[in-house]
Structure 1
Amino acid sequence: MAGCAPATSADSIHLTADAVPATITVLDELPLTPLGKPDKRTLRTRATSTPQPSMTDPS
């Protein structure tokens, strides 16, 4: 994109509270449908059924 500069540090990114996800799930790989597309149904199921470790602010 013309005119867009990449973010160079965390200080340059400001998100409103509603733009920050409540949880982040890390996967080794995306579940795929038989056609090779990401399986959104399986992703939703995993996100709601997997207990998330608590995240704390490192500062």
Structure 2
Amino acid sequence: MSTVDHIEALKTKHATLEQAIHQETTRPLPNDDALCSLKKRKLMIKDEIVRLTEPTSH
């Protein structure tokens, strides 16, 4: 898998997590533990996308 393909896959996962977070927050009595877990996973993916897209400084 190329870096571009990997980034696109991460962006898809990020969007999926965003939808899951939205669904959890809009349902009656959202599960705070689930929300925390989803948000952490989303942030980890975002950090990975940034790491892969930033130019390296040598």
The alignment's TM-score, normalised by the length of structure 1, stands at 0.25
Flag the structure with higher helix content: 2
Tell me: higher relative CO, structure 1 or 2? Use CA pairs within 8 A at least 6 residues apart.
2
Q: Which has the larger radius of gyration?
A: 1
